[in-house]
Amino acid sequence: MHDLECVNLTRIFGRHIAVNDVSFTVPRGSFFSILGPSGCGKTTLMRMIAGFETPDSGDIRIKGKSVLEVAPNRRSVKMVFQHLALFPMMTVGENIAYGLKCRGENRSDITRKVADVLARIGLPGVQDKQISQLSGGQKQRIAIARCMVLEPDVLLLDEPLGALDLKLREQMKIELKLLQHQFNTTFLYITHDQSEALVMSDNVAVMNAGRFEQIGTPKELYNQPGSGFVAGFVGDTNRWLGRVTGLSGDEARIALDAGPEIIARAGGALVAGARAEIFFRPETVSLTPIEGANQLSGVVDSLLFNGANSRILLRSSDRLIEIAQGVMDATTPVARGDSAIAWFRPAHALAFAAPEAG
Amino acid sequence: MKSSDASRLTLILLFAPFALWIILLIILPQIGVGWLSLREKLGPREYAFGFGNYLDFFREPIYWNTLLRTAWISVLVTILALLIGFPVAWYIAKIARQRSRAALFLMCLIPLWVSDLVRAFGWILLLRETGIVSGMLQWAGLSSGPVELLYNDITVVIGMVYTVVLFMIVPLVSTLDGMDNALLEAGYNLGGSRMTVFRRIVIPYAMPGIVAGCIITFMLAAGSYLTPILLGGKNSMWFTEQIYEQFVTRYNWESGATFGVLLLVFTSAVVWLGLRLTGQNLASTVAKE
């Protein structure tokens, strides 16, 4: 059973196709993220589900029933807004009670439910506080509680962590995931931050220019990206351009632009002689020799210390290669200006067809 | 030390014109008027200190009736200005595009280019017996003879709403402009109908603007002189007219000063009552968090 189902949704603004033939289903109780750069149409998609925009074609079904004819205030879809949109002139308790009052529930039920939901989000007894007295993280939780008290079928979250500082954002990621487990409600989360999507979601859809590029678990997206865009957008990666010189099975021989020939795994259909883009992740690149691996020689450009995320930047024919392997444990002591060779296995390099340059 | 002296000097210099303005043009004259109102005239150049002027006011029904009438019509004007101004402000702040917003705002301001007096005469030109509206009615066959549309309360109210509505629109636009549209969407999303969203979100949010607009409008209406006199004629019974009469026609400055003080006290009391009835306070209106 799916809580939310979108079928061939399309929305066009003038000449611009904001959402182009998007279909997906979200299973009950799961955490589904839509990840994409700004302007990719993800907010339009979410606003259509909430009912603030009408699709030009396609259908939206909640629990199997089409909601296109249902007004936004009657849909069982609640939304946490980007800047939360808590009502500043109401207390915390009034904010949460607002939806219940609109439904016409009686006073004692409302009081009980408000106290209940505040206890569940770990902020018991803040009913009488003003919104301005809350911290960023608390506001976040109140915004979620205000929706969850109405027991919606689907909760939409529109980049709600964007306004928080880094430390709090990391903390809220975990907390959101816990809240989703606790309420066991379907969450549809929109973000441009891949780490938010990867950490929290059961499934992630990567969106680009109005279309879904790929839907999959975070692991699938990271390890088996279905397109060059996904490979480049999800996680850190090194991207090189080249031309396919030969194909054998799923291995492709590629001559890098201004570089040697390497062997890569074909991520999609490739044609010999055509242009290709090659992606390999920093953590698969090493400065210690690996048998049968590709080699790129260069000069150490800089050492970037960042704890577990430390990097070596190797300059090779005007391009920088990010290297993560063996940086922290000092297995390969290098200094700026040293010559070195970057090694990575063919299995760790992914090639996708690229448009002809120029 | 030096920098703090300099900043103190800056403060004094910046504050001085404002302080002079307040003290010389507002506080001192008001004290003078207050003092004058407490001076009873016994004979030529013979005065005594007492509340006689105030007692005279309450002994003469026409005086306090005029004051009550002035207040009541001003309240009516304020309410009408709010009812007309709110949709206009809403349109400018929320519906109009960014580019046309400035043009619309300017159009609201244009009437202020023309002096009060000329605008009032404009109304007279329209509404008098031989005026344009009367002529149109006769031409359309809706009236057999000339119609006098001037010199009644409705005309006075219309003319005053026209004069003051801008001062309602400006504070409303600035508060509504600050309202995030997401608040409205959140209001719908959580199950509110249009009416609920308007009543529970828009009005409370706009309240500081509504209160500010109402106070300005009411004070302007109660203190206005030209519009009620010109459009209402001899029988307009406006309180500022009484004050003018005491000062100028009767040369009774003591009585005129008394009326001035009473107008100030009474309108302040009405504003205070209005704030109490709507559960607002002046501090939260002026200095919004």
Whether B189 is covered by a domain: the verdict is yes
Q: Quick one: A163 exposed, middle or buried, by C-beta within 10 A (0-12, 13-18, 19+)?
A: middle
Whether B183 is covered by a domain: the verdict is yes
Closest CA to B37 of B262, B268, B244: B262
Q: How far apart are CA A251 and CA A338, in angstroms?
A: 32
Cβ atoms A191, A197 nearer than 8 A? yes
Q: How far is CA B31 from the centre of its chain?
A: 23
Q: How far apart are CA A177 and CA A144, in angstroms?
A: 12
Q: Which two tokens stand for residue B123?
A: 């109304």
Chain B residues with CB inside 8 Å of A73's CB? Answer: 188-193
What is chain B's mean pLDDT, rounded?
88
> Does residue B207 sit at the A interface (CB-CB below 8 Å)?
yes
CATH code of the domain covering residue B256: 1.10.3720.10
pLDDT, tens digit (0-9, with 9 covering 90-100), for B269-287: 999 998 888 887 776 665 5
Q: Which domain holds residue B202?
A: 60-114+164-286
Closest A-chain CA to B197? A102
Instruction: Give the pLDDT mean for A273-291.
Output: 89
| Among the partner residues B180, B187, B190, nearest to A83 by beta-carbon distance | B180
ipTM value greater than 0.90: no
Q: What is the maximum alpha-carbon separation in chain B?
A: 84
> Does residue B60 sit at the A interface (CB-CB below 8 Å)?
no
Cβ atoms A45, A34 nearer than 8 A? yes
**A2-13 and A57-62 as β-strands: parallel, antiparallel, unpaired?**
antiparallel
> Does residue A218 sit at the B interface (CB-CB below 8 Å)?
no
Distances (CA, A) of A358 to A241, A351, B142, B148: 13, 20, 76, 80
pLDDT at A326: 67
pLDDT at B151: 87
Size of interface A-B (CB pairs under 8 A): 61
Q: Quick one: B86 exposed, middle or buried, by C-beta within 10 A (0-12, 13-18, 19+)?
A: buried
Q: How far apart are CA A26 and CA B189, in angstroms?
A: 20
A10 or A335, higher pLDDT: A10
Show which of residues 83-122 on chain A sit within 8 Å of chain B, judged by CB atoms.
83, 85, 87-90, 98-99, 102-103
Confidence of residue B232 (pLDDT cuts 50, 70, 90): confident
pLDDT, tens digit (0-9, with 9 covering 90-100), for A88-129: 999 999 999 999 999 999 999 999 999 999 998 889 989 999
Count: domains in chain B: 1
B258 or A259, higher pLDDT: B258
Which of B175, B179, B183, B189 would you mutate first to test chain A, the one with the most A CBs within 10 A? B189
Cβ atoms A205, A6 nearer than 8 A? no
User: How far from each other are the two terminal CA atoms of chain A, in whole angstroms?
Assistant: 48
Instruction: Give the pLDDT mean for A266-280.
Output: 88
Note whether A73 contacts B289, CB cutoff 8 Å: no
Whether B138 is covered by a domain: the verdict is no
Whether B121 is covered by a domain: the verdict is no
Whether B106 is covered by a domain: the verdict is yes
Instruction: Give the pLDDT mean for B184-195.
Output: 93
Note whether A50 contacts B180, CB cutoff 8 Å: no
Show which of residues 135-194 on chain B sit within 8 Å of chain A, judged by CB atoms.
180, 182-183, 185-193
Note whether B193 contacts A74, CB cutoff 8 Å: no
What is chain A's mean pLDDT, rounded?
90
pLDDT, tens digit (0-9, with 9 covering 90-100), for B89-134: 999 999 988 888 888 888 888 888 888 888 888 888 888 888 888 8
> Does residue A36 sit at the B interface (CB-CB below 8 Å)?
no
pLDDT at A202: 94
Chain B residues with CB inside 8 Å of A88's CB? Answer: 205
Q: How many Å lie between the alpha carbon of B93 and the closest alpha carbon of chain A? A: 18
Whether B200 is covered by a domain: the verdict is yes
Chain A residues with CB inside 8 Å of B190's CB? Answer: 73, 78, 98-99, 102, 146-147, 150
> Does residue B118 sit at the A interface (CB-CB below 8 Å)?
no
pLDDT at A66: 93
Query: Which domains, and CATH codes, for chain A?
Result: 2-229 (3.40.50.300), 237-353 (2.40.50.100)
Closest CA to A1 of A78, A64, A65: A64
Indicate the pTM of the whole model.
0.82
Backbone angles phi, psi at A254, to 5 degrees: -130, 130
pLDDT, tens digit (0-9, with 9 covering 90-100), for A174-222: 888 998 988 899 999 999 988 889 999 999 999 999 999 999 999 999 9
Whether B15 is covered by a domain: the verdict is no
Note whether A81 contacts B182, CB cutoff 8 Å: yes
Whether B186 is covered by a domain: the verdict is yes
Note whether A85 contacts B185, CB cutoff 8 Å: yes
Confidence of residue A329 (pLDDT cuts 50, 70, 90): low
Confidence of residue A87 (pLDDT cuts 50, 70, 90): very high
Q: How many Å lie between the alpha carbon of A219 and the closest alpha carbon of chain B? A: 34
Q: How far apart are CA B131 and CA A88, in angstroms?
A: 52
